[in-house]
Amino acid sequence: MIEIADVGVRFGGVHALSGVGLTVAEGETCGVIGPNGAGKTTLFDVITGLRRPTTGTVRLDGRDVTAAGAVQRARLGVRRTFQRPQVFGRLTVLDNVLAAVEWHGGGGGLAADLLGLRARRRLADRRREHARAVLERCGIADLADHYAADLPIGRRRMVELARALADEPRVLLLDEPTSGLDGEQAARFGEVVAGLEATVLLVEHDVGFVMAACERVVVLDLGKVIADGPPARVREDPAVRTAYLGASA
């Protein structure tokens, strides 16, 4: 589903990524770990189309999307959350989720806009019901009518997740989703992610969470992939222990 080959990103003299190759199969849940500045967020930016790599190619579902923008990739079903949650602060939680489905349009064109046709109203009701169900799944149904800006960061992360899940993502990228969540919220987050059919890439600080939630873990250090495999093997990898796990333990 995701195929990255020889990707490099340079910021002036900084090699944020160099020679990165990564293939993630459809439906796989793959964790990405590594110290601060390793290039994890930059990798997400390259996959989602927010940053054009200096070298290399990105393929999604077999298509070369290296030159495609973020909107085109979103239309292929790519969704993400951000290390600093990005919600529509002046919209309610429910409207944040509805915003993610309304780009499909209401059907019926201008006439339906002007006349408020019954079919249009039924569609709007169905979407509202669906959005509420997504909030329920994310454990924030009680916040539907709150403005997103008023929520603490952990709740905003759940709003972002709900919005990302609103129209069946095919590829979901989560950037440090459990930071700012308490234990119970993180567990809920893990459950929701475990139940997804989407291909998931998950950047996480909490190594325990990654090892539990992912069937595979990729380790980045200084812009390079230094390990890639099942959690148990990655945990024992001497290079990983030196670069990361040892340092954080």
Ligand X SMILES: Nc1ncnc2c1ncn2[C@@H]1O[C@H](COP(=O)(O)OP(=O)(O)O)[C@@H](O)[C@H]1O
Task: Give residues in contact with Mg ion (CB under 5 A).
Answer: 40-41, 83
* Window 4 to 23, contacts with ligand X (CB under 6 A): 11, 14, 16
From the list Mg ion, ligand X, none, pick the one residue 66 interacts with, judged by a Cβ distance below 5 to 8 Å according to partner type. Answer: none
Q: What share of the chain is helix, strand, coil (3-state, %, to 5)?
A: 45, 25, 30
DSSP 102: G
User: What minimum distance in Å lies between the beta carbon of 40 and Mg ion?
Assistant: 5
**Residue 161 to residue 102: CA distance in whole angstroms:** 17
Told to check if 145 binds ligand X by CB under 6 A, we report: no
Q: Which does 163 bind (CB under 5 to 8 A by kind): ligand X, Mg ion, none?
A: none
The Cβ of residue 91 has, within 10 Å, a number of other Cβ atoms equal to 16
Diameter over CA atoms, the chain: 67
Report the nearest approach of Mg ion to the CB of residue 41 (Å): 3
The pair of structure tokens assigned to 116 is 């408020």
CA distances from 68 to 62, 76, 79 (A): 14, 11, 15
Instruction: Tell me the residue number closest to Mg ion, measured at CB.
Output: 41
Q: Does 84 bind ligand X (CB under 6 A)?
A: no
- Three-state DSSP at 114 gives helix
**Is residue 81 within the footprint of ligand X (CB under 6 A)?**
no
Which of 105, 99, 103 is CA-nearest to residue 120? 105
**Cβ nearer to Mg ion, comparing 97 with 217:** 217
Q: Per CB under 6 A, does 39 bind ligand X?
A: yes
DSSP 87: -
Q: Does 37 bind ligand X (CB under 6 A)?
A: yes
- How many whole angstroms separate alpha carbon 170 and alpha carbon 241? 33
The HSE-up count of residue 120 (CA atoms within 13 Å, CB side) is 14
Closer residue to ligand X, CB minimum distance, 36 or 232: 36
Nearer to ligand X, 36 or 145 (CB): 36
Token digits for 118?
């019954």
Select from 18, 29, 42, 48 the one that contacts ligand X (CB under 6 A).
42
Q: Which stretch binds ligand X (CB under 6 A): 34-42, 126-134, 192-200, 208-216?
A: 34-42
Question: Considering CB distances under 5 to 8 angstroms, the limit depending on partner class, which of Mg ion, ligand X, none binds residue 36?
Answer: ligand X
Return the number of the residue (89 or 246) whose C-beta is nearest ligand X: 246
Q: Which residues lie below 8 Å from residue 146, measured CB to CB, with a gap of 6+?
A: 92, 93
Smallest gap from residue 17 Cβ to ligand X (A): 8
Which residue in the set 13, 36, 111, 145 belongs to the binding site for ligand X (CB under 6 A)?
Answer: 36
Interacting residues with ligand X (CB under 6 A) = 11, 14, 16, 34, 36-42
